[in-house]
Structure 1
Amino acid sequence: MKSEKYNESKDKKSVYKDIITIIITIIVLYLVFGIGFGVLVRQNSKNLYNIILKSDKDVLKTAVDNRLRKINSKRNLLKKQGKTKDEIYSEVYDSTYEKVHSLKYPGDGYMWVNEIKDYNGGDGYAVRLMHPNPASSEGLVLSTRTTDAAGNRPYQKELDIVKKSGSGFYMYYYKAYKNDKPVKKLTYCALDKEYNWVICVGMNLSSIRQYDALQRKAIKPYVDRTLIILVIVCMCLTIIIALYFSKQYNRKLLQKNKKLDDLAYKDPLTGIYNRGGLNRRLESLVNDEKVIELTGIFIDLDDFKLINDIYGHVAGDLALKNLSEFLRRSFPDALIGRTGGDEFCVIISNKSPEECGELFEKVIPGEKTFSYEDKSIRYTLSGGYASYPSQARDSAEFITMMDNALYAAKLGGKHTAKHYQDYMSNIRRDQLGFNVSNMAYGMPGAFLIYKADESEKILFANDHLIDLFECDNYDDFLDYTQSSFRRIVYNEDLDKVEKSINDQIEQGKINSPSSQNSYEDYVAYRIRTKTGNVINVIDFGRLVHDQHYGDVFYVFIVDVDKLKGRIIFPKSC
């Protein structure tokens, strides 16, 4: 009996020992998994913060760099036009001021401009030249001794950065309007040396912290649930459940990372790769031993600005979406990306350059259409293609060759695809710099475009025509003429002039039925200027069909009196 009681007591002690061991094991596992999940959550939070912060830095840097590039471009263009320094400064200032007060950035971000007066710092070292928040602070004299909500000297930091490297990031703190709590703000600044402008864009980082808190809150129920199950179930079941939840957590983490990856490397409008994503995938293809040959093409939507100007930016966005879908259908196995604006890139792997070239030259020249507000809008493409490694030595040269080939196609009349040749590296891109305003201003006389319908609506008039009618500006000219060709012609001459034009066009259609809808007319009439002067003019017109406006007249108008005595023919005539 004593032996049985001893064994029973021993068994109970063994059971109690096992129970205690299991309980301790569960507690240890609870602590281990609890700490492990906590570390994963914290690491995920840290990684998430760094990814978003890097993305925000890219946004700030891109915004400032683009603004500097546009300032330099506008300044150089105005210099070529012979403008004075004061005129150049005024136009650059006005265009920059308008952008500063209209552009918005994530995280309540905005752009501002400080003008440095003294690079040595101190009181009055700079003036707040442009600032949208609030605009009343413009003209404020700044000091490098000024401290922020945390006691730092942000203006001193900004000055040190632009003096040392010309551009860079810095942080400062300001008090929130609602609770006066210090808010951390990330800022990128860059110096325009010619005007001593420091162009800055900043955004507060509270939105990242808020997003991080939401992520933690979303993940916490999974962690708590796992830990509760670990306390209740046995060790094996606890390990299995812990592994299950760990897998679930990792899956959600991968999904969130994929979303962040899409935000960083996908174009939000078209859903294809952006420039960064395309370059990253291109580098992986270049370094892939299985990839023997790459052939890529840069594609540009011809006259994309016209679609935006005529139909609006919604139609422009639809054109870009339509083009991206067209490229996906045409090149289903290719790497496709939007490299910026209306420029796209397609890269085909492991096909011969000749085979890819035939495909490009078949796909690109065709006319494309899409529908917008019950209208069928047409557009064409230009493309330039090259190969790696048969032509380019690395990815950077590969991209440069495609870019040069694209510009060769655009200079060659657009609506075509060209294969890169060595001479294309010497192409002068300034040939593409002429726009309608440049050419219209340089024309030797008054120039007019109007619709060939019942409205005869004026679409364009150059400065010479505005001066001929003695109007102050384009708006004044449209107001005086009521935006119609009928108000250009002297009232008593109108019926005769329109009949003459119509008769000549009809006769032209009979004489030249294959002239592709381009017919000329010549007519003389009188005009009455805004001040009441009557002037005799000669009208040289041509009727053409435009894919966006329909039938339009292009017209040169010449003052007859100014021609008298000026035309001298050679004696041989």
Structure 2
Amino acid sequence: MKSNLRLMGPVVIAVNCGLLVLFFLSFNARVGAVHGRNAREAVVHLQNRFLKATVENQIDRIETCRMEERARWNRRADQAAAALSAWSDLDEERALAIFKGLFHGDLWTAVLREVETGRVLFRAGVFSDEPFGEGDEGAFAVGRRQRFGPYEAFFGVTAEALDGRVQAFIADEIHRSTFPFDSYLWVNEVLDYGGGDGYAVRRIHPNLPETEGMLLSTSMEDVRGNLPYLAELEGVREKGELFFSYFFKKKNSDTISEKLAYAKLYRPYNWIVAFGIHLDDMEAFTKQTTEESRHVAARLGLLFLSLLVGLLVSSQALLLLGERRFHRKDRRLLEAEVNEDALTGACSRRAAERDLAGEFEAFRRGAGAPAVMLFDVDRFKAVNDGYGHDGGDIVLRGIVETLRGTLRQTDSVYRWGGDEFLLLCRGLRPENVPSLARELLRSLAAVRRPVGGASLSVTVSMGIACFRADDDSFADAVRRADEGLYRAKKEGGNRAVVNDDDPAESS
């Protein structure tokens, strides 16, 4: 009897330990499943936001470049018109020499005629047989008609020519862009919204640059028999945008896997701008976070076995708390990738729009108006032309580093697009805005950066505005700041313009 009782103790202990082990294994599997599901849901949600934000930022960039190109050529046309107006009494030879000198180059279209006889003295570019007939200017994004002396001239640049320059610039920019997980932007140009063979042309594709210019068909299938081009066309045709998935080759690899993509139509160019991420790349990230959670659960499980049932409940609570902490950390890391500009370390444009909207709502509730400072680098194209885009990148990163050493902790710097930045200065008194602007101009101009074996310094032009009571949104203040930036550029650069006030020049 005593022998049986002695044997029963170890048996009970063994059974209890076995039950605890089974309970732990079951509990650990459940925690892993819950964490994996939550991690996947969070990743998919942030992934969709990342895809959409990237495409919308690129479309904003295209529109900005398009408007800037038109503004640049309008300024050149105004300068040419001013030059012609200064000559009122010229012979034919001198008039031709001046006219040809002003309108040389591939983009200009120009016609010069003698008013009295109607005789055309000079013609270059795209024009009808009746250069001064009604409706000729319709194809021109920039155009001027002007009399000087006994002559009449028309000169301008077609929308097709300007859009071609912008499209070539954007194609180069997309090819040089880098994103996490070897993802990339691509562009298909729609030729026929009815679909079918040759409905579109592959315009920009960093993964398959050798296929750019290839005609696409809505009947083209992926390896699973899906019709991704048909789905893409129907989505943008009905709603202008869509999320969709299909199977495609990975970048720098022959591996084909499922890809989640977001596409949106940019109607002025009939461009479908798209961005995608392969799901197995994100799945590997999700799996890693799940495995980390399981390792934590295993370590805590050893504690459960040693402290028996009394400590099991509290240990379970600690485990769940630890799981949530890891989940929140992963979520913050993913959100940081969306809100930070990868090149300069400044905040992204999406973050700027979010913060500006929040500040504007606070302003409507009675808070003070922050200063919105919009600036870009003077003659930045010359930097890129002289030192390459790597040199331009060094300059942009240096600007952000300099600003962070100059601004207050309450101020924020955002990359608005290209070489354009936005500063949000909270709690700044209006009378102190010009002095801060001058200090920023001096600080940025004083720093010399090693670029391509040379020591390079740059200046910036800045436009500044504050929220006003009659503003409908923060966009009104940004627009005024942009107008101030344009004035600063027009007046020679290296200066700041506060709304419509006189510029505050750098010392």
What TM-score do you get using the length of structure 1 for normalisation? 0.58
Instruction: Classify 1:22/1:347 alpha carbon distance in 2 versus 1 (closer, same or farther; 3 Å).
Output: same
Q: Distance in 1 between matches of 2:347 and 2:175?
A: 31
CA contact (8 A) 1:105 1:203 kept: no
State the match for 1:183 in structure 2: 258
- CA–CA distance in 1 between the matches of 2:491 and 2:345? 31
Does structure 2 conserve the Cα–Cα contact (< 8 Å) formed by 1:300 and 1:381?
Answer: yes
Which residue number corresponds to residue 409 of structure 2? 333
Between the aligned partners of 2:340 and 2:356, the Cα distance in structure 1 is 14
Counterparts of residues 1-40 of structure 1 (less than 5 Å): 31=26, 35-36=30-31, 38-40=33-35
Q: How many residue pairs align between the two structures?
A: 413
In the other structure, the counterpart of 1:370 is 448
**Aligned pair 1:322/2:401, yes or no?**
no
Matched residue SS, 1:364: helix
Deviation of the 1:332 alpha carbon: 1.9
Where does structure 2 lack aligned partners over 5 or more consecutive residues? 74-106, 108-139, 143-154
Partner SS for 1:294: coil
Superposition pairs of residues 144-223 of structure 1, within 5 angstroms: 144-174=218-248, 182-190=257-265, 192=267, 198=272, 200-223=274-297
Post-superposition CA distance 1:165-201 (Å, at most 9, x none): 444443222477989765335252535566x665555
* Secondary structure of 2:448's aligned partner: strand
Residues 205 and 225 (structure 1 numbering): CA distance in 2 closer, same or farther, change over 3 Å?
Answer: same
CA deviations over 1:317-361 (Å, ceiling 9, x no partner): 333333323323332232212233333333333343223444334
Secondary structure of 1:188's aligned partner: strand
User: 2:134 maps to what in 1?
Assistant: none
2:57/2:349 contact within 8 Å kept: no
Who wins on radius of gyration, i.e. which is larger? 1
Which secondary structure state, in structure 2, belongs to the residue aligned with residue 379 of structure 1? Answer: coil
CA contact (8 A) 1:148 1:172 kept: yes
CA–CA separation in structure 1 for the residues paired with 2:231 and 2:419: 38
Shift of residue 370, structure 1, vs aligned partner? 1.9
- Verify: 1:260 aligned to 2:334, yes or no: yes
Q: Deviations over 1:445-472 (max 9, x none)?
A: xxxxxxxxxxxxxxxxxxxxxxxxxxxx
Distance 1:277 1:96 in 2: 23
Say which is worse superposed, 56-65 or 395-404, in terms of deviation: 56-65
Per the alignment, do residues 155 and 68 of structure 1 end up closer, same or farther by CA in structure 2, a change over 3 Å counting?
farther
Contiguous gaps of at least 5 residues in structure 1: 425-573
Query: 1:359: which partner in 2?
Result: 436
Pairwise CA distance, 1:43: 0.3
Alignment match, 1:383: 462
The offset of 1:160, in angstroms, is: 1.6
CA deviation string 1:229-259 (max 9, x = no partner): 3344223433444444444444433333332
Match runs of 1:296-307 below 5 Å: 296-305=371-380, 306-307=382-383
CA shift at 1:293, angstroms? Answer: 0.8
1:237 corresponds in structure 2 to 311
CA distance, structure 2, for counterparts of residue 416 and residue 85 of structure 1: 32
Q: Which position in structure 2 is the counterpart of 1:277?
A: 351
1:556-567 correspondence to structure 2 within 5 Å: none
Alignment partner, residue 556 of structure 1:
none
Say if 1:294 and 1:350, in contact at 8 Å, map to a contact too. yes
> CA contact under 8 A between 1:294 and 1:388: conserved in structure 2?
yes
Match of 1:413 among 456, 479, 492: 492
* Distance (whole Å) between structure 1 residues aligned to residue 161 and residue 308 of structure 2: 82
Letter in 2 for 1:154: P
Give the 3-state SS of the residue equivalent to 2:447 in structure 1: strand
| 1:147-178 deviation per Cα after TM superposition (whole angstroms, max 9, x unaligned) | 33233222222232343244444322247798
In structure 2, what is the equivalent of residue 58 of structure 1? 53
Cross-structure match for 2:370 = 295
Q: In 2, distance between residues paired with 1:389 and 1:344? A: 22
Distance 1:32 1:93 in 2: 57
Structure 1 CA distance for aligned equivalents of residues 156 and 309 of structure 2? 84
Decide whether aligned partners of structure 1 residues 265 and 17 sit closer, same or farther in structure 2, where only a CA change above 3 A counts: same
CA distance in 1, matches of 2:502, 2:373: 18
SS in 2 for 1:145: coil
Q: Distance in 2 between matches of 1:400 and 1:319?
A: 26
| Structure 1 residue aligned with 2:301 | 227
The letter for the 2-side match of 1:378 is S
Query: Given the superposition, is the C-alpha separation of residues 411 and 261 from structure 1 closer, same or farther in structure 2, using an over 3 Å criterion?
Result: same
Residue in structure 2 matched with residue 471 of structure 1 by the alignment: none
Deviations 1:498-517 (A, max 9, x none): xxxxxxxxxxxxxxxxxxxx
Whole-Å separation in 1 of the counterparts to 2:420 and 2:172: 26
Q: Is the 8 A contact 2:375 2:462 kept in 1?
A: yes
Superposed counterparts of 1:414-433, under 5 Å? 414-421=493-500
1:257–1:127 distance in 2 versus 1, CA, 3 Å: closer
1:308 aligns with 2:381: no
C-alpha spacing 1:390/1:353, structure 2 compared with 1 (3 Å): farther
Change (3 A) 1:210 1:335: same
Whole-Å separation in 2 of the counterparts to 1:191 and 1:355? 41
Distance (whole Å) between structure 1 residues aligned to residue 159 and residue 347 of structure 2: 42
Q: Hey, what's the Cα distance between the residues in 2 that align with 1:201 and 1:132?
A: 11
User: Which residue of 2 is the match for residue 48 of structure 1?
Assistant: 43
**Higher relative contact order by CA 8 Å / sep ≥ 6: 1 or 2?**
2
- Distance across 2 between alignment mates of 1:346 and 1:87: 34
Q: Paired residue for 2:480?
A: 401
CA 1:221–1:399: 2 relative to 1, 3 Å:
same
Match of 1:343 among 411, 416, 420: 420
Q: Give 2:92's aligned residue.
A: none
Cα distance in 1, alignment partners of residues 170 and 399 from structure 2: 32
Secondary structure of 1:262's partner? helix
Helix, strand or coil at the partner of 1:321: helix
Counterpart of 1:316 in structure 2: which amino acid? G
1:88-103 equivalences in 2 (<5 Å): none
Query: What is the aligned partner in structure 2 of residue 476 from structure 1?
Result: none
What is the distance in 2 between the residues matched to 1:323 and 1:135?
A: 33
Residues 41-50 or 80-89, more deviating: 80-89
Write the letter of the residue equivalent to 2:191: I
